[in-house]
Amino acid sequence: MNSISEACTDLKREYDACFNLWFSDHFLKGNYDDSMCATLLKTYQQCVKKAMKEQNIDIYEVQRNLLNTEQEKTTFKMIQL
Amino acid sequence: MVKFFEQTTVFNYTWDQVAQGFWHRYPNPNSKHVLTEDTVERKLTPSGQLISKRLLSKTNSIPKWAERFVHAALVNIVEESIVDPKTKTLTTYTRNLGYTKVMSVTEKVIYKESAEHPGKTLAIRTAWIDSQVKGFSRAICAFGYERFKKNCNKMVGGFDYVLANMFSNNPPVVNNVNVTTKLKDAAKNASELAKTKVPIYANLH
């Protein structure tokens, strides 16, 4: 897959490859040290943040969380009974 | 006017396989409308849960009559997820960014080990479709619901395709035996809930 910005696509692919290896070979096997891809993630995310600003994506809206929040509990209250 | 959607799917793969496949869902033959995918946040909690947030952009196909409300050819989607390897649960939460007053679709999927079918994984999908456009919310919700329902089958098929490619020792078939779809009117639900205080879904099983 491509990144939202062409400038970040190579960084994304490099990070994704590292992450997928870490997820299968470390995380799912109970090793919770996530330093393996940390540098790649940092560089990639800086690129994406810049691209989001350039494309006028509402960063505040993206940062808002729903999982395990009061809002989620209200929204899904009736279907989680 | 709010519409609910619920669907349960059984994937013919272990939870570990489904959790790995989740990050490879795109591209697949059913996902040509998904254009970009980015990880915008990722962290591990002290208890060993992996929390991620991804930003996806998709083409936005809308009917002619809806063009007066939405002019964008692209729509951004935020996908939150929590992977808990200890309880073998993957929970995802997906919502559209922008145009939420016109139509907001919020989807939650829980992937967990099937108690009934060891070695298989349940995906319990619930969605909430809402619109705040006066006079049009009913039509918009009905459209959103139908589109979501249609896309669900494509999403399941696409994910199954990816899993079959990754773990080809398993037959590339989704066990659809337990697929159920339910739709209800939220207002009706709320009033019934208030009256009866009985789990509504329990009555339907």
pLDDT tens per residue across span A23-33: 999 999 999 99
pLDDT for A75:
60
Contact call for B20 and A44, based on CB within 8 A: no
User: Is B35 within 8 Å of B57 (Cβ atoms)?
Assistant: yes
Question: Given this structure, which CATH class describes domain B3-194?
Answer: alpha beta
A14 at interface of B, judged by CB pairs closer than 8 A: no
Return mean pLDDT, chain A: 88
Q: Considering only B12-16, B157-161, B163-167, B188-192, which range has the smallest mean pLDDT?
A: B188-192
C-alpha distance from B40 to closest chain A C-alpha (Å) = 6
This model of the complex carries an ipTM of 0.88
pLDDT for B169:
59
More confident residue, B173 or B135: B135
Q: Whole-prediction pTM value?
A: 0.83
B185 has pLDDT over 50 = no
B15 has pLDDT over 60 = yes
Chain A environment of B82 (Cβ under 8 Å): 67-68
Kindly state whether residue A42 falls inside one of the protein's structural domains.
Answer: yes
A31 at interface of B, judged by CB pairs closer than 8 A: no
Q: Considering only the C-alpha atoms of chain B, give the largest distance between any 2 of them, rounded to a whole number of Å.
A: 52
- H/E element, B76: strand B74-84
Kindly state whether residue A29 falls inside one of the protein's structural domains.
Answer: yes
Per-state percent for chain B, helix, strand, coil, to nearest 5: 30, 35, 35
Q: What are phi and psi of B162, to 5 degrees?
A: -65, -45
Q: Give the mean model confidence (pLDDT) for residues A48-61.
A: 91
pLDDT for B144:
84
Q: Considering only A46-50, A72-76, B82-86, which range has the smallest mean pLDDT?
A: A72-76
Q: Give the mean model confidence (pLDDT) for residues B104-129.
A: 92
Residue numbers of the domain that contains A62: 6-80
Kindly state whether residue A16 falls inside one of the protein's structural domains.
Answer: yes
Give domain limits for chain B: 3-194
Domain tally, chain A:
1
